[in-house]
Structure formats: structure tokens, C-alpha cells
Homo-oligomer: A and B are copies of this chain.
Amino acid sequence: MGEMRYPLKKKAVVLLSGGLDSTTALAIAKEHGFQPYALSFRYGQRHGVELQFAARVAAAMCVVEHLIVDIDLRCFGGSALTDDIPVPKDRDADEMGAGIPLTYVPARNTIFLSFALARAETLGASDIFIGVNALDYSGYPDCRPEYVAAYENMASLATRAAVEGHRRLKIHTPLMTLTKSEIICRGTALGVDYALTSSCYDPAEDGRPCRRCDSCRLRAKGFSEAGIADPLLARFGMAAS
């Protein structure tokens, strides 16, 4: 018998868009002691610059691996994030809260989680982190807790591990019930540099946020409520408003 080795850290696949939420989820995965394998997607999003943000976040936060998967969701259409539908701007909280936004991408989280599941299976990992949030994105069907629970149940039947009796797959949603300001406070306490993150649905080519889309407005409100200046604005020489 060889000597007992201290167990290696468990691997986790972390879905990383380069935004504020997924970056915070990555920080929490690390805090929980996981070795993070980051996964991003080039899916035809108009805000493709977010992948540059994702790459900088991945490097700054020392992930084990950062895979960018090419998939083309434009062929399906149906979203302001992938089509020539204008991104809604200057909407107030009531307007944002009414129904499913135009920026909803059909089945996007289902597709993203499915690739995460494939990566987890090939890594022998049974943990996936996703930064979904049921409060700010209440209009997105695939951000709801009941959806995530059903996905986890399906995923636990889907893979080799399911048949061979290994540990059940766990989808971690550490931001599910947090407000945006709580997410920002949590991440700040963990040392996240939010200047590296992009939230805008319609940024300039250099990543400069539009400050008028739903996502920019939710971000601004979150930083304001947290009493923290958004370092992304300083990076682009923009006033905190």
C-alpha cells in the first residue's frame, strides 16, 4: 500500500461569459476549493468583445483551462443578442420586469450547460458553476431555480457517471438569490477586479459600455446600491454618473 496522499482539489467546470455574474461565480468556485475549468462560447453574440473580457478574467483568476467553444446560434434567430433586432435601451425597472426580454436567446443556458456537461464528463468532474440569477433576470425562463433543478436531474441521468454509479452531478448557482449589489459586495470581498468584466449587451468595439441597455442599467444600479464605484467606468475614463 502506498502512502495516503492528500486528496487533489476537485475539478469544476465554470461557465464564464466575462460578465460580472459569471466572474463572481468563478471567484466563489475558487473560494469553495475547486480547480476551475472555464468555458466560454462564441455564439454569434453582437457583444463578441465579451470573450476578450472572459480571457482576461480567466488569466487574472488563474483558471486551469479556458476553452472557447464555437457554436452558431444565429442560424436559429429569435434574439436581439444574435440578430439585427435592436437591443432595448433606456428601460426602467418596470419595463425590464414585464415579460421575457428581447435579449433572451432561445435555449441558450440549456445549450451552454450541455457543453459544460460534456466537458465535466471528459474531465471526470461532477460540479458545474453557472452565474444565473433569479432576481434581476426574472424574465429569463432558464434562470429559474426550478429549471436548474430539472437540468441537474436530467444531467445526472445523461452521462457515463450516471450508469456507472458515480457521484451525482451538481449544478452550483451561488448567485441565484442574490441582488446585483449583493453579488458585487460578495465578489469585491473575494478580490474580484470588476474592471476586467463586461456586462453591456451593445458595447463599442473596445468594450466601452453603452450604459443604456438593461444589463448596463442593472450593473449601474448594483454598484450604486453597493456604494462602490464601478472600476470599468474609470478604466474607460467615464464618470460614475
Point out residues on A near B: beta carbons under 8 Å.
67, 69-73, 75-78, 100, 104, 106-111, 113-115, 117-119, 121-122, 139, 141-142, 144, 146-147, 150-151, 153-155, 157-160, 162-164
Contacts and interface: CB of A to CB of B under 8 A. Distances in A.
A109 B114 CA distance: 9
Given A75-B67, A153-B150, A141 B159 contact: yes
A119 B106 CA distance: 8
23 contacts: A67-B75, A70-B71, A70-B72, A76-B119, A76-B122, A78-B121, A78-B122, A100-B160, A106-B118, A107-B118, A107-B159, A110-B158, A111-B114, A111-B118, A113-B114, A141-B157, A142-B158, A144-B157, A147-B158, A150-B150, A150-B158, A151-B154, A153-B154
Q: Which 4 A-B pairs have the closest CB atoms?
A: A107-B118, A106-B121, A150-B154, A78-B122
Contacts of A111: 111, 114-115, 118
B141 A160 contact: yes
B157 A150 contact: yes
A160 B106 contact: yes
Pick from A69, A75, A154, A155 the residue with the most CB of B within 10 Å: A154
Nearest to A153: B150
Pick from A100, A108, A141, A155 the residue with the most CB of B within 10 Å: A141
Contact of A110 (B106, B139, B154): B154
Given A69-B71, A147-B157, 4 more contacts: A100-B164, A107-B121, A107-B158, A107-B159
A121 B76 CA distance: 9
